Structures are given as C-alpha cells and as structure tokens.
Amino acid sequence: MIRPSPQTDELDRGYWGRVIRWNGWDNARNALGILRRQKANAELGSRQEPLIKLIAEIAGLSTEVFAQQHTTLPLRRGITSYQTDLQHGAAENTDMLWTTSMRVSRPGAYFCPDCVITDIDRQGYSYWRRTLQIPGLYQCSHHRSGLHYVDTSAAFDQDSEFYLKSGIQIPSHLCTAAQVNPAIQRYLTLAQAFLLRSEPLAVRPIALQLKNCAKEFGLQCNPGKVKQALLSDLVIAKFGREWLHAVVPKLAVKPEGEWFNPIDGVLYCQTNSSNTVAYLIAASALFETFDQAMFALENNSEAELMVSHRKSVNISKNELIKRYAATGGDYRATAEHFPQINDFVVRQRLQTLGLPNFSGRSHLNLQQAAIAFYLEEKSLIESAMVFGVPLQQLESLVRNAGCGFAKVLAIMAQDGERRYFNKTQQNLPTVCLG
C-alpha cells in the first residue's frame, strides 16, 4: 500500500482522497473496507476502528497529532463544555472520533488558485489546505488573492487542481470588504490561532469574561424581554450582514432588537455552549484587538478565580474613585494606576461601584449626556438627543449606575466647570419632546 506523507496544513478529507487515488481504490467506501480487512488480518480479533485512526496510521502519526494538525476539529471543538480535559483526537473521546472528528467546518471546498499552481510546480500535485476552510475566510493570506470554491464537500475526493477551471470565484468586493474590516480580521486571526491549539477551552469562564465585557457596552446579558442593546446587533453593526450571511445566515436576516440565542446566548450559557465560531465572533466584536480577545479567552480560569476572590484584594474605594474620575472614566487608564492588581479585578470593582466605562467602546458623547442628565437635570430623552447618544445606551448607563455615580460625575465636571448645556446652549438643535 502506498502511504503518502501529509503536507503541512493538508486537510484530512483531502489527504484521504489522495490515499484512495494513489492506491487505485474505487471509492471511499471500498477503501475503508480494504483497510479494515487488512487491519483484521494483521491483528486477529481486533475491533473496528474509526476512519480517522486508520488514516492517521497511514500517515505515520498518532490519532491525536493527526487530528490536531490536519482536521478542523481544533476549531469546531475549540470551546466546549464537554470533556475539556481531553486533547483533540484523544482516544478516550470515542464518540467524537467516530462521528465528528472529520466533519467539514463550512459547506463546500475552498482553494487558492495561486497555491494550486505553486504546489504543482513544487511537488507535482496540489492539496487542500485546512486553513482555507475557516468559515468566513475569503482570501488567501499568502497570495492576497480571492479564494475559489466548489459547492460540495465531495470535491475533496479530487486534487484541488481538478477544479481550477470550474471553481466559483468569490466576488472581489467581498474580499475587499473583509480585508478592511477590523472585526472580521480579528475573528479570522482568532480562528487560525484556535486551529493550532491541542486542547479546547472551557465554556463557563469564557462566558463570564464575555459577559463582563458586554456590560461595558450596556448590552443585555440574559434572555427575556429585550430592554437593552443586544450583542447580536453589535455583531451585525461591526461585521456587516453580507459577510454574516455566509457564516451565520439566520443572524444576517435578524431584525434589530430581536434576541438571537446562538450569539446573544454566549453571554449566559455556561454548560451547553454555542459553536466555537459564535464565541470568536462575539469576542471579536467586544474586544478592540486580537491580543485582548485571545487573552480573555485563554486566561479564563485565572479570571474566574479572581472574580470569586475579589473581596480579598486590597483596593481603596476612595483611591479607586479618585483615579477613575482623573482618567475621565476610562477603565483601562484607571487600571494602569494599580499595576500590582490584575486589570480584570479593577474592572470588576468599578462595575460593582456602578461606575461605567467611558473609554473607546462607548459613545463619544456618553459622558456629556450623563452630566446633562445627572447634573443639569435635563430629561433622559433630551440628554440623549442633544448629544446624539442612543437612548438605549444612556438608559442602560442610568439603570446600572451606582448611588454615588452623580457625585463622581460632579468631580469629573469640575475640571473647567464642564456644564455642557449651559456653555453650549446656543449651538444645540431644537429638541421637541411632544
């Protein structure tokens, strides 16, 4: 039997197709029968084994290594609530090896024509790349060219060069839009990083991390009647419906303000997780950089421990409020004044005190609107309208503010006697409250 060595990043399904063709077998079903008969003859009384294990043996790899380097399992199982202590491809996870280990990560088969030509020039044949099967990936990161695809996963049975002329090209405007969208690029970088992980992350602490971050946006974190802005709407705003249509189709057509559990549910589901892609999309929407998102996802157990023991951390309340007011209500800048204490703990203390985060994630004029409402005693609607702040965001701030928040605002407003309505009344638009 011919046992070809798998190429770097070669997809499991593509490698299996190559093994079948190079050995002259008719189809996958007959090939599997041949392998199992050979196994039974070599090891008398041996039980049937899952396909992935048989293919790994052909490749000369352990099942764990093959699963981690050649399947999309590290992405699909990247965040889970089930057997989080087991590595991807572990023999103990029998059900997974038999049922889901070699599933595709998105419909169809994707390839880069430039990579195909390079492969043929280099080794005489092309192969399917695992990385190019990431949901939402439209462009080859190496050649910066748009991907082509075949609308059936059966395409993996042939070399990718077989589809050079018949493959469907992804429209250039989709590639360009994805390339210049920071949220999409964060998501794709996270997905690539998860493909390289050997084991999954537990969903419960990740849900806690995302929930804490979502509170800074004033987002609703629990199901029920929608009273606040939703994470799913934030995702739509940052990613765009056209890109989401290929990744989370039902989200792309969701009406604004309607709860969408596969995305909004990542903030509260701590036992049965959504798929990993949903968590990566949520993290990419909530955090400003890849490093922030990855830190929150990977260091979740440490963060959860700090939350449960945060009362033992010695932070002076008065000093914390003083630093918060001095930074203009910026969580990150406030945390920098306490280098001996984890940033996560500082954020939790500020949230406990009912002090919102006025940094880059909130509306630029949210602080002015809050001062107008609390200190100038303007109505909630007028304060929001005058400064162009979404009413839901200002309502969320008021709803979650602590009893001492007005005093802190007064301290912040004393810098230059910042009384926005009094000083800018002549420039304000007419507000009709009828």
Rounded to an integer, what distance in angstroms lies between the CA atom of residue 125 and that of residue 95?
A: 34
Q: What is the mean pLDDT of the chain?
A: 85
Q: What is the DSSP string of 189-209?
A: HHHHHHHT-SS-EEHHHHHHH
* C-alpha closest to that of 203 among 150, 272, 292: 272
Residue with tokens 């890849």: 290
Give the Cα separation of 200 and 82 in Å (integer): 9
Which amino acid is present at 99?
T
pLDDT score of 397: 79
DSSP string covering 23-36: TT-S-HHHHHHHHH
What is the rounded distance in angstroms from the CA atom of residue 296 to the CA atom of residue 56?
34
**Mean pLDDT calculated for residue range 53-60:** 95
Please tell me the distance from the alpha carbon of residue 370 to that of residue 391, in angstroms, as a whole number: 11
Residues forming beta bridges with residue 149, ordered by sequence position:
110, 168
Higher pLDDT, 428 or 381: 381
Paired tokens of 237: 């705003």
Q: Is residue 290 helix, strand or coil?
A: helix
Alpha carbon 13 to chain centroid, angstroms? 25
Phi, psi of 80, deg, nearest 5: -150, 165
What per-residue confidence (pLDDT) applies to 430?
A: 32
Angle in degrees, 0-180, between the axes of helices 290-298 and 203-216, rounded to the nearest 10? 140
Model confidence pLDDT, tens digit, residues 331-345: 888 888 888 776 667
What's the pLDDT tens digit per position in 137-151? 999 988 989 999 999
The stretch 116-128 carries a mean pLDDT of 95
What's residue 398's pLDDT? Answer: 82
Instruction: Tell me how far apart the alpha carbons of residues 152 and 339 are, in angstroms, rounded to a whole number.
Output: 53
The helix (H) or strand (E) run that includes residue 120 is: helix 113-123
Contact 400, 218 (CB under 8 A): yes
pLDDT one-digit tens code per residue, 326-380: 888 888 888 888 887 766 678 767 877 888 888 755 567 888 888 888 888 889 8
Three-state DSSP class for residue 370 = helix
Segment 283-315, tens digit of pLDDT: 999 998 888 888 888 875 544 444 444 344 567
Distances (CA, A) of 423 to 262, 325, 406, 407: 46, 21, 20, 20
Quote the CA–CA distance of 115 and 74 in Å, as a whole number.
23
Measured in degrees and rounded to the nearest 5, phi and psi for residue 317 equal -60, -45
pLDDT of residue 392: 67
The pLDDT value recorded for residue 314 is 61
Query: Which pair of tokens denotes residue 153?
Result: 């996963």
Strand partners, 110: 149
Beta strands in 200-319 (DSSP E): 201-202
Domain ranges of the chain: 12-99, 109-179, 182-307, 309-352, 366-427
Is the separation of the CB atoms in 367 and 411 below 8 Å? no
Residue type, 138: Y
pTM: 0.70
Q: Which two tokens stand for residue 238?
A: 């940052």
